[in-house]
Structure 1
Amino acid sequence: MRQPEQPTEVISVNSPVPNPFVVEDDEPTPPEPEPSTPNVNKAVPPPPPVLGDDSEEEEETPDLYLPGLVLPTMFLPIPNTDPLSTLLTKYIYPPDKRPARDASGQWQDRDFHTLVMTNSWRALARMVRDRLVTTNPEDLVLVLGLWYIRLACLARLRLFNQTAAECTNLFSVLNGIVPATARDWVFERVLPFELEVMQARLSHWAGDPMGYLDALSALLAKCRRRSRQCGNDDTSRAMWKERGTRVSLMLASQLMEMKDFGAATKLIEPLCSQQGTAAAALRSTVARIYLQAGQIHRAAAHFAFVDQDPEVTQDAKDMNAALLASANGEWERSAQILFKLLETDAENYVAVNNIAVALLGQGKVMEGIATLERALKTSPSTVVVSEPFLFNLSTLYELRSATAADKKRDLLIEVAQWSGDGLRTSCLKMPTN
């Protein structure tokens, strides 16, 4: 059964952009005192520089006008098909039992916040497209930010071919900027880092894992280079280091998919020397990779290091202890730790999911089903978007084979009612063919 994935943080669309104008720290030179006898033939000294003005010639901001970025032909129509609706048509009869699902993508009567909170990625993608075609191309920062939201929505809809096509259109326009100095200025100062990550993922969606690793490695090299160029700007340096860490985690994730656990741990372990809670989180990540690789003693060493860190919350330490106990086959101890976590936070649905795994390890299938169903009834809109949760519940239903088909149909109705767009329907274990 799948363990729940740890939530990852999202990089903001409005990434800070370095200021192309540098203000010097030198104090202005005071003017020379006037002589006692005026000399009208003497050259007048230049006025002192005003604080805040540049005293050195800097590269001017290029005047760019890129109407190609907002052309309607840059975007493809989003299909009005929904995988959940397909499953409902096949498995739920009569039709009046099927929850109504809106695949039209209408957004005019809803705002941005509502669309995000309800996982309405189709409507949000169309909203951004309509906003883009009416945006002034000279506002390049806004245009590129909207482009990222558009592509991110398509990816959440799992329309990877369409995401790749529109991303290719975008970078075709950007790579065609002339002169080269203006193009370099856009890529170095304006282009959101998230769009570069999106471009790197095109290889992943195309089924080219080695090309994906190469693209991520190039991004990691850029993060290191930009971090070294920050000089005394501690804020920018910290930003590029954080981006490098995130790219490293993406590299490690791909290496884990390729079952190269050794390379994944070697990539992340050097990052554990950082200070603060980030280092503890990275150590926990490394330990969980070792658990998947079957190297429990190495995982235990990293968990022990995290357990001694006073800045790490007790809940995080208890979760690590529960995972280690499960790896050692100590299912009862793991369940006890996880139930204790629920006493302090009843909405810790990661713990709920892991409790079901621990109960299954003890052969308590019915108790595991009851635990997950209770969470589903308490907060359906929260848990139905968790694919590991749905996969584990569907698996437990199959183990209770007498009523598996009926239970999974009921689960499908609940998911269709609450999940929104973009769910990977394979987690329900209900084939469409």
Structure 2
Amino acid sequence: MARDRIVQADPEDLSLLWSLRLSSLARLRLFNQVSAEVNNLFGVLTSITPPTTRTHVLENLLPFELDVIQARVKYWAGDHYGYADALGALLRRCKRRARSARITDADRQMWIERGARVGLIAASQFIETKDFAAATALLEPLVIQQQQPAEQQQQQPQPQPQLASELRAALGRVYLQAGQLDQAETHFAAVAADESVPESTKALNASFMASARGDWDKASEILRDLITQRGSTQAVNNLAVALLGQGKLKEGIEVLEAALETSPSTLAMAEPFLFNLSTLYELRSSIAADKKRELLIEVAKWSGDGLRTTCLKMPS
């Protein structure tokens, strides 16, 4: 639909249509096609003359989502350092626009929120590379910003309360992965005390803490309730880990296989889910190779371009 509209639309309306098309291709995991189209699109945009017009188009008319997708192209290509640099450039742009004296308070708030969300994306990249110190260093100032005295907050617009809680929850999970349980519990407690945070988020945080402390029974109970009430795919994956901690391999496999059968288009693209299922196959069955080949065939129907097949733990 986006392609047909792009062909027919007025040139002034194309920016949102390009954002729709590229986002759709990314959701389909057709990353090679996304990369080709992003390179062609920005090749045209950066050749606009005169330079003042080009700057106006890139700064004011181009949807911010397209800049994020352009940065993501580097990640899909395996250029993790280039991806970090691109995210850093987006963060600097958000800070510069938020500090501009020529924008309205509403626009300033928008750029502050964009900066916070780009910070979350950058933190997730640091977590993936196991650089927990960099992730906490990036998120801590964003969280502390929410704790400033009221008079300071009146002078500078702050991110929305929901985003502030998302930042605290993300920071707590980083501390959890770094093994700093007390720090993680402090942030999770602050999130739990916030009435605006969904109960599902609070429950998921509680399951993380229970798992980290080895209380697998409690973690399983929380996650089963989440699956029953919300149908959370993340809770399904975490429940399998909790069941593994209890030595219930067969039940863990059944939970993951049932979830994959119910939502193949979602879970066949979730690498942690596939890694956990492959691991359980290895631990449970002497015919793990056959089970993983069957899993590979199922995943191939849905996975698109970007799946790293190492998550299936197949022999080379």
TMscore range, shorter length: 0.7 to 0.9
Correspondence 1:310 to 2:195: yes
Per the normalisation by structure 1, the TM-score is 0.62
Q: Supply the distance in 2 between the matched residues of 1:358 and 1:158 (Cα, whole angstroms).
A: 30
Question: How far has the Cα of 1:297 moved from its partner?
Answer: 1.4
Structure 2 stretches lacking a partner, 5+ long: 147-158
**Partner amino acid, structure 2, of 1:276:** P
Q: Which residue of 2 aligns with 1:353?
A: 237
Partner of 2:247: 363
* CA distance in structure 1 between the partners assigned to 2:28 and 2:223 by the alignment: 33
- 1:391 corresponds to 2:263: no
Distance 1:269 1:401, change over 3 A: same
1:156 touches 1:422 (CA, 8 Å); kept in 2?
no
1:404 to 288, 295, 299: 288
Change in Cα spacing, 1:153 to 1:313, as seen in structure 2 (3 Å) is: closer
Q: Could you tell me which amino acid in structure 1 is paired with residue 96 of structure 2?
A: R
Q: 1:209 to 1:381 in 2, by over 3 A?
A: closer
Equivalent of 2:11, from 139, 152, 168? 139
**1:330, CA displacement in angstroms?**
1.6
Alpha-carbon shift at residue 190 of structure 1 (Å)? 1.1
Structure ranking higher on relative contact order (CA contacts 8 Å, 6+ apart): 1
Q: Check conservation: 2:48, 2:54, Cα contact below 8 A.
A: yes
Which residue number corresponds to residue 241 of structure 1? 112
- Kindly indicate whether residue 161 of structure 2 is the aligned counterpart of residue 296 of structure 1: no
Letter in 1 for 2:125: Q
Is 1:421 equivalent to 2:292 in the alignment? Answer: no
| C-alpha distance 180-406 of structure 1, shift in aligned 2 (>3 A) | closer
Separation in structure 1 between the aligned mates of residue 94 and residue 266 of structure 2, nearest angstrom: 35
Whole-Å separation in 1 of the counterparts to 2:27 and 2:265:
17
Counterpart for residue 283 of structure 1: 168
1:136-174 deviation line (CA, Å, top 9, x unaligned): 6x61331x3343444445555666565444433322322
Tell me what 2:220 maps to. Answer: 335
**Contact 2:243-2:249 at 8 Å conserved across structures:** yes
With the length of structure 2 as denominator, give the TM-score of the two structures. Answer: 0.82
Contact 2:113/2:160 (8 A) holds in 1: no
Query: Does residue 1:266 correspond to 2:266, yes or no?
Result: no
Match in the other structure for 1:190: 61
Name whichever of 376-385 and 278-287 sits farther off.
376-385
Q: Could you say if the C-alpha distance between residues 228 and 396 of structure 1 is closer, same or farther in structure 2, counting changes exceeding 3 Å? A: same
What's the C-alpha RMSD, in Å, of the aligned pairs? Answer: 2.8
Equivalence for 2:152: none
Matched, 1:212 2:96: no
The percentage of counterpart residues that share the same residue type is: 54
Instruction: State the SS of the aligned residue for 1:214.
Output: helix
The 1-side partners of 2:125 and 2:284 are apart by 34
Q: Give, as a single letter, the amino acid of the residue that structure 1 aligns with 2:69.
A: M
State how many pairs are aligned: 301
Counting helix residues as a fraction of each chain, which structure ranks higher? 2
Q: Give 1:170's aligned residue.
A: 41
Select the structure of larger CA radius of gyration: 1
- Supply the distance in 2 between the matched residues of 1:164 and 1:171 (Cα, whole angstroms): 11
Question: Secondary structure of the equivalent of 1:259?
Answer: coil
Cα shift readout 1:324-350 (whole Å, capped 9, x = no counterpart)? 1111122122112212323423x1222
Partner of 1:48: none
* Letter of the 2:281 counterpart: Y
Q: 1:430 to 1:149 in 2, by over 3 A?
A: farther
Given that 2:236 and 2:255 are in contact with CA atoms closer than 8 Å, whether structure 1 keeps it comes out as: yes
**1:368-408: CA deviation from partner (whole Å, max 9, x where unpaired):** 11222233344444433433222211221111132323333
Render the CA deviation track for 1:168-220: whole Å, top value 9, x for unaligned: 33223222222222112211221121222233334445544443333222211
